[in-house]
Structure 1
Amino acid sequence: MHVAILDRSWQGWAAVGAGALLAVVCVVALVRTVRRRRRRHHPAGLLAVTGGLLCLTLVAATGLLAVGVGTGYVSDWAGIATVGATVVGDAPDALAAGQPADPPTPTTATAGRTWDVTIPSHSRGVPDSDTYLYVPPGYSQDTGARYPVLYMMHGAPGTSADWFTAAHLDQVLDGLIDAGTIPPVVVVSPDLDLGAADEPVDMPAPGALHETFLVSDVVPWTDAHLRTVPDQPHRVIGGISAGGLGSLLVGLRHQSTFAGIVSLMPYLVPEAPALHASASALAANEPLEVIGRTTYSERLPVFVGVPSGDDVTEGHRIADALTQQGLPVQVGDYVGGHDWSTAQTMAPDAITWIVQQVGWTSPAPAGTATPAPSPTATAG
């Protein structure tokens, strides 16, 4: 399934060019100013140090931006602004109980909206989450409709904005919805506070309870503040890399909460040092072990995305193990690396297939919501 994504990479390269120009101007201005002060026998040491640090900061920032644009992590001004705000900005205030989460700019008939909110955490070791939301075209106009939800997890390290700045998931979904390929859906992408080698699962004490946060904090918050259909058939969990492994494990363990799984670029052995410090914790989070000892209470479709740049045998071993348990499994093999560019290619196929498998059709009218079941684990 091909979805056209508007190429705005020229904006990213324009920002890189502007940054490079500013860095050159900074160096030239600093050199001239220091020379002028020395000719007049004025002290220039502090100025040289301060100005030098400023110029080096500009050079480093421009270099990082060039890497981000070159790898497709950011490609346009909006993405650059979002990443910048995520890194240095303050998280939004948490919404009051019962206050709806509405996009700052209303949706239109053809375009959804993304923005960030704060989801409070009551789970050990997990801070409040600066979470990005997507609501579909028509959300602001049809105030009686309720929607199914995709919970999408980033990789490690990563941020809640990655699915939108790097994979352009909002544009992907707008295109799929506009074409009638899928019904309108809501997306919730929480920041899971992952380290460079980490997975969004519960760590042994005193480690962070990422999985508990997702199931016990994020899902109830979503149903309380967004117009969702708050039941298991209308929830799917997905992710990339560490988030892809996490979505698989969390989805298997919480079948009463999620009806389907999108696992992109999963792998066989978790990387978190806290898991490797405990043989039992590691075994409890190795996908083949979990798949083999899970009790499958009902049909659970799983999409597994495998990039050619990975060891493709790992993704296929996971898919084969799921198939042996009788689950409906779709394996997508893609030419590409373990990166967001490939994730962008995978997303339309994965979302289209999983939506068909779980049977989402159209937004539910007002009054059809059912109480959300209590999240419980079904894995042994």
Structure 2
Amino acid sequence: MVVLSAFTLWSALVALEASASVTIRKTGRAPTGYEVDFRYVNTTAKRVIIGGGIQPFTDQFHTTGTSFRFNGRYDPRDYQPGDFYVSNPSPQLPAEPAYKWPYEMNSTDDGVWTYTAPLPSGIYSFAYLVNCNYAPNCSIDTGHLVVDPDLRPFMNVQGDQVASSFQVPFDAQFQASPELNTNFDYALDAPDPARNRGTVKTVNYTSPGSLHPAPDVHDFGLYLPAEYGRVPAKKYPLLYLSHGAGGNGADWENLGRMSHIVDNLIRLGHIPPTVVVTPSFYNLDAAGGKFVYGNKSANASVPVPTAQHVRENFEKYLFPWVEEHYDVCREATCRAFAGLSMGGVLTYEMFVNATDKFDYFGMFSPATNAPYIGAADVARNPGLLKKGIMVAYGLYDFVFPQARDLQTALDGLGIRYVNRVTPFGSHYWNTWQDELWWFGVKVLWKKTPSTVQTGRERKGE
């Protein structure tokens, strides 16, 4: 069982006194003003590279929206202001000397592996690839993919996540660019922890038929704002935030730092204190097979469940359980659903077929496909015209055509929405962080339906 294998691997690392660390240092010098030091101890490894999420860099002038083979793939040491990373299928290493992966660790005789690079503002997820050159071919249960043992990911049970993450601050002296704003400081820790930082945890709930993490038990990530529990009888707005294909409910926190973003949205007055639930849409029942992050061979045969199937299950089990156990709003006016990629498809499903349950919908990099709703659907369900909606995707996102097709369909029906095209965005977490942030700033809990003025109202109006 993969969970046991992952736990065994972690135990072995501890027994061998393996250790690792990531240190972010403010340097006050070019190229980024910050350096990141990786240190990993493994006395038997022959080669260690850093992969599993961390990417090389490019810029707007050497990247196309049609083929990521034609981007800069710059080493971070060659960073220039305005550079950003895009999610691209890196060559199966070694593909050298034509292309050399920049994140290669160096070792000493005592098995200490190190790597230092200047990195600009942003979220970085990573794992150590041990004697393995290409992350999709490296397995956690064989020891070829190692999650940082001292920077453990946010997850429900061992094996549910296969990468650690960290956030680098912005330095205006070295990173500011007239071409592009790549400041992601809204995902850093909010100041004044007692006042501004909510709590985040995983929760298991009763869901008959669920396969994971236990029979008839399913899971979600939960964010409670800092003031939760301090105001008697208060009911809080509720946002459901879905992962995408190949993910789970811990992704938004582990890979996207959702709690930090929401803390700062609340602190800066963009949204009121809000409860966030990040559910998992795999393993709801035996229909599609069991999906566990760390088990690559088994996951290959597990299909993405249909959006209709997920919606029906959530309506039957998840939504009532959350309402029963937490002080959350039960009206559509203070409930929202959003998601990335296939989670964007699920959001569209909720918009069309659970219209009366939510007044706000965030479709981030939506992997939707025709047929879309038509005039007859709007006539039967006029509530579709009254919602707060964001359609968002990256300029270098492979779902760009699909997202535009969705917009065309909504335009043809007179359904208004707010659009965000992330100018540095691919199908990756820097894009989805950006989209969650702007969803909170421009749409969430604002006046409905969305109009050309949505997100532009002056405070107090």
- What is the TM-score when the length of structure 2 is the normalising length? 0.53
Distance across 1 between alignment mates of 2:400 and 2:337: 22
Distance across 2 between alignment mates of 1:316 and 1:292: 22
Distance across 1 between alignment mates of 2:150 and 2:278: 16
Aligned amino acid, residue 230 of structure 1: R
Q: Verify the 8 A CA contact 1:306 1:332 in the aligned structure 2.
A: yes
Partner of 1:300 in structure 2?
A: 387
Shift of 1:10: 3.3
Q: Confirm whether residue 218 of structure 1 aligns to residue 307 of structure 2.
A: no
Secondary structure at 1:108 match in 2? helix
Partner of 2:372 in structure 1?
A: 288
Distance across 2 between alignment mates of 1:341 and 1:321: 27
Partner of 1:17 in structure 2?
A: 39
Secondary structure at 1:188 match in 2? strand
Shift of 1:80: 4.4
Distance across 1 between alignment mates of 2:280 and 2:150: 16
- 1:1-380 to 2 correspondences below 5 Å: 10=24, 14=37, 16-18=38-40, 22-23=41-42, 25=43, 27=44, 63=49, 66-70=51-55, 72=123, 74=125, 80-83=151-154, 86-88=157-159, 108-122=194-208, 128-193=217-282, 198-199=304-305, 201-202=307-308, 209-269=309-369, 286=370, 288-289=372-373, 293=377, 295-298=380-383, 299-309=386-396, 310-335=398-423, 336-352=425-441, 353-358=443-448
Does 234-243 or 244-253 show the bigger shift?
244-253
Gaps of 5+ in 2: 1-21, 26-34, 56-86, 88-122, 128-147, 162-192, 283-290, 292-298, 450-461
Query: Higher relative CO (CA 8 A, sep ≥ 6), structure 1 or 2?
Result: 1
Shift of 1:354: 2.9
Provide Cα deviations, 1:11-67, integer angstroms capped at 9, x if missing partner: 9965x522xxx22x2x2xxxxxxxxxxxxxxxxxxxxxxxxxxx58xx7xx65x632
Secondary structure at 1:132 match in 2? strand
Q: 1:316 to 1:357 in 2, by over 3 A?
A: farther
Query: Identity over the aligned pairs, expressed in percent?
Result: 19
Q: 1:140 to 1:333 in 2, by over 3 A?
A: same
Gaps of 5+ in 1: 1-7, 28-54, 91-106, 203-208, 270-285, 360-380
Q: 1:199 to 1:74 in 2, by over 3 A?
A: same
Q: Verify the 8 A CA contact 1:129 1:192 in the aligned structure 2.
A: no
State how many pairs are aligned: 276
Shift of 1:88: 3.0
Q: Verify the 8 A CA contact 1:235 1:257 in the aligned structure 2.
A: yes
Q: Verify the 8 A CA contact 2:360 2:387 in the aligned structure 1.
A: yes
Aligned amino acid, residue 159 of structure 1: N
Aligned amino acid, residue 323 of structure 1: D
Higher strand share: 2
Provide Cα deviations, 1:60-85, integer angstroms capped at 9, x if missing partner: xx65x632344745379899423565
Provide Cα deviations, 1:205-263, integer angstroms capped at 9, x if missing partner: xxxx3221222211111111111011222211100001011111122100121112100
Q: Verify the 8 A CA contact 2:244 2:343 in the aligned structure 1.
A: yes
Shift of 1:140: 3.5
Distance across 2 between alignment mates of 1:159 and 1:190: 7
